[in-house]
Amino acid sequence: MGVTRVDVERVAELAALKLDEAALDGFTREIAAIVDYVSQLEAVQGAAPTGETTMIQHPQPLRPDEVRPADLAFPVAALAPAFRDGLFLVPRLASLDAGDDGAPEE
């Protein structure tokens, strides 16, 4: 099974990842190498499972691959004491104030 650049682009889209053009080729090669290695493992013959270790194969229903917004239990704004214009507002560190070099006072 070969992995194509289109496959990697689709997975990145579904995972909401933005990959630049240079990274796509590298990821395509790396993922193809992983898939090739796993396919070699499928060829390994092991002992047949017996007794309680035997699993019954039930078909797993698959959902369609579609991009959708994250299903959060509560709004992101609820995670911070202050939230405005899509950003978390946090207090400024005293050591970053203008004129302070961060050295301890004597």
Q: Grade residue 31 by pLDDT with cuts at 50, 70 and 90.
A: very high
The pLDDT value given to residue 51: 61
* Residue-range domains of the chain with CATH: 1-44 (1.10.20)
pLDDT at 32 over 90: yes
For 16, which DSSP code?
Answer: T
Residue of 104, 102, 82 lying closest to 94 (CA atoms): 102
CA dist., res. 10 & res. 61, Å (int): 21
The gap from C-alpha 7 to its chain's centroid, in whole angstroms, comes to 16
3-27 pLDDT tens trace: 899 999 999 998 888 888 888 999 9
Q: Are 43 and 59 in contact (CB under 8 A)?
A: no
CA dist., res. 75 & res. 63, Å (int): 25
DSSP H or E segment with residue 31: helix 21-42
The pLDDT value given to residue 39: 87
Give me the phi and psi of 42, to 5 degrees please. -65, -25
User: In the chain, where do the E strands start and end?
Assistant: 83-84, 87-88
pTM of the full structure: 0.47
41-88 pLDDT tens trace: 878 877 666 666 556 677 788 888 888 877 777 787 887 788 888 888
Q: Look-up: residue for tokens 């396919």?
A: 39
The pLDDT value given to residue 100: 52
